[in-house]
Structure 1
Amino acid sequence: MIASFVIAWCFFYAVSVINKGGEKMVRTQRKNLTICFKLLATFTLLVAVVFSSQTAIASSTVQQSTGDVSLSASDFISISSSDVRTISDGSVIPGAGSKLIRTDEGVTMELHTSELPAKNAVTTWWVIFNKPENCTEGQAPLRCGEGDLGNPDVQASVMFAAGSISSANGKATFGSHLSVGDTEGCQTGLPCSQGLTDPKGADIHLIVRDHGPIIPDMLDEQISTFGGGCNNAPPDTGKPGPNTCEDLQFSAHEG
């Protein structure tokens, strides 16, 4: 199941890049393709380790001074699924959804959505609440909300995940991986509290942001920075442009 999920992500992401035809493959796309193939190798090894561990457990009991120790697949990985919803009213977008894989080393996401403006530049963002038990601004049923981003006790970060161009019918698929302690996706002007520090316990919201119609000489900025191509973004969050940008959708995975 794990391998199937990763293979599917790699396949659909590669197809989405190839379908862009003459458009250049920007830095973030090359990085995500490299990540997905590394994940294939990692999960292949993981499956082998889990299988060998379960075989050993079935034939013997591991003894330590504190007592019996048993292992299971949950010690290595967990997977959750979530709807994609509109930020404006919280309604579920039919046929859209996201998956999040958590391990001790980091998190991997895939998000497929629709009802986007056609052929626009679109980005997705990790919004991480490492200490969700300290959140106070969430709107039910979510524990954490935008108002918690400035609370140091929450240890929140907003980080770039992936960028793409929506299809002619307003659909897009995104995939990204974030390792513990990796702050490369942090950007000036956005909260960043050491990135991801608690991959299994953090509440993670995935935000889908519209950057408007493609601006050919700004495409890289549009699909890799928060304010790329925007006339209404916070200062220093990307090269400004003529488009009005907006956070349109979200998908939440609570720890």
Structure 2
Amino acid sequence: MRNLIKLFSALLVISFAFSCEKNSDDPNPDIDNGSKDNVSTVDVFNPILGTVSGTSTLTRTDTGITVNYKSTGLNPGYAYTLWWVIWNSPGECLTPNGCGDPEDVDFFNPATEVDLLYATGLVVGNNGEGNFLAHLNAGDDSESENELMELPVVGGLHIGNVFNAEVHLVLRSHGPVIADMVVEQIGGYIGGCTDPFAFLPFSEIPDEVGECGDIEFAVHPPVK
């Protein structure tokens, strides 16, 4: 499991660095700091294909976060789940406010207080587009998968920390729909997976029944 998360972290670092370089004049060009709510829009990356495949818009309020994650080029009739990766203390990462290091130190450093939580899931239609909407209340860790990932329990997105957290979104494919397992496929990390960890994260796009793998992600830095 540690090797899987190591590769996951490394790819996040590479792509996050790319996104910051692309917007070097303004690291958060689409963040609106003029209202009580804070809205940021960033690119969605598919590191397997090396492409930008959509956008992720995150709205933060005092009580929680809401995401609208839009992706294109997905497989029609396939099941997908979207996942929150919440870094409650991004300043404790090896690269402050740029979490996810190639040696997986950030994930297994309790000081970063990272939590992985289910956001939502759906079956993609004929147009190959996914429009994912999800909300996470601060303090709610009922959808956490930290135990599965062998990470400490940290309590989700901490109350009072909504604007300081670094928020990653990860899109996971669960392969072609299985008629009697649709609810499981769109409702959990291992739903419908013959071997949930057969593919290293961001290494291959599942195309057979029972194959699962993480294929895309987006990174929302803390509000500055």
TM norm structure 1: 0.63
Deviation at 1:168, TM superposition (A): 1.7
Unaligned runs of 5+ in 2: 1-32, 198-207
What aligned pairs does 1:11-90 form with structure 2 within 5 A after superposition? 74=35, 76-88=36-48, 90=50
The aligned amino acid for 1:152 is P
CA displacement 1:96-120 (0-9 Å, x = unmatched): 2111011111101111101112210
Kindly indicate whether residue 148 of structure 2 is the aligned counterpart of residue 189 of structure 1.
Answer: yes
> Quick check: 1:156 aligned with 2:114?
yes
Q: Which letter maps to 1:92?
A: V
Contact 1:102 1:199 (C-alpha < 8 Å) held by counterparts: yes
Whichever residue aligns with residue 180 of structure 1, its letter is A
Do 2:177 and 2:209's aligned partners in 1 also have CA atoms closer than 8 Å?
no
Distance 2:130 2:34 in 1: 31
Mapped pair 1:170 → 2:128: yes
2:62 corresponds to 1:104: yes
SS of alignment partner, residue 182 of structure 1 = coil
Partner of 1:131: 89
**Residue 100 of structure 2 aligns with which residue?**
145
Deviations 1:51-105 (A, max 9, x none): xxxxxxxxxxxxxxxxxxxxx953x211000111113365312xx2111011111
In the alignment, the residues of structure 2 paired with residue 169 and residue 79 of structure 1 have an alpha-carbon distance, to the nearest angstrom, of 27
> CA separation in 1, counterparts of 2:195 and 2:93?
28
Amino acid at match of 1:232: D
The percent identity for this pair of structures is 34
Distance between the aligned counterparts of 1:90 and 1:194, measured in 2? 34
The one of 101, 110, 114 aligned to 2:72: 114
- Asked if the contact 2:80/2:174 (under 8 Å) is kept, the reply is yes
Deviation readout 1:151-196 (Å, 9 max, x if unpaired): 2010000000000011223211111110111011113403442100
Partner of 2:193: 230
Cα distance in 2 for residues equivalent to 1:213 and 1:81: 30
**Partner in structure 1 of residue 52 of structure 2:** 92
Cα distance in 2 for residues equivalent to 1:252 and 1:174:
16
**In 1, Cα distance between the equivalents of 2:187 and 2:73?**
21
Give the Cα separation in 2 of the matches to 1:87 and 1:123: 17
Q: Which residue of structure 2 lines up, in the alignment, with residue 4 of structure 1?
A: none
Give the match's secondary structure for 2:184.
helix
Instruction: Pick the structure with greater CA Rg.
Output: 1
- Say if 2:60 and 2:66, in contact at 8 Å, map to a contact too: yes
TM-score, normalisation: structure 2? 0.71
Higher strand share: 2
1:83 aligned counterpart, secondary structure: strand
- The alpha carbon displacement at 1:254 in A equals 0.6
Give the partner amino acid of 2:80: V
Alignment of 1:201-220 (within 5 A): 201-220=164-183
- Secondary structure in 1 aligned to 2:68? strand
Structure with greater helix share of residues: 1
1:21-74 Cα deviation digits (max 9, x unpaired) = xxxxxxxxxxxxxxxxxxxxxxxxxxxxxxxxxxxxxxxxxxxxxxxxxxx953
> How many angstroms apart in 1 are the aligned matches of 2:168 and 2:99?
9
Distance 1:253 1:90, change over 3 A: farther
Letter in 2 for 1:151: N
Which has the bigger relative contact order, CA under 8 A and spacing at least 6?
Answer: 2
**In the aligned structure 1, how far is the partner of 2:67 from the partner of 2:177?**
25
How has the CA–CA distance of structure 1 residues 172 and 233 changed in structure 2, closer, same or farther, with 3 Å as cutoff? same
Aligned residue pairs total 172
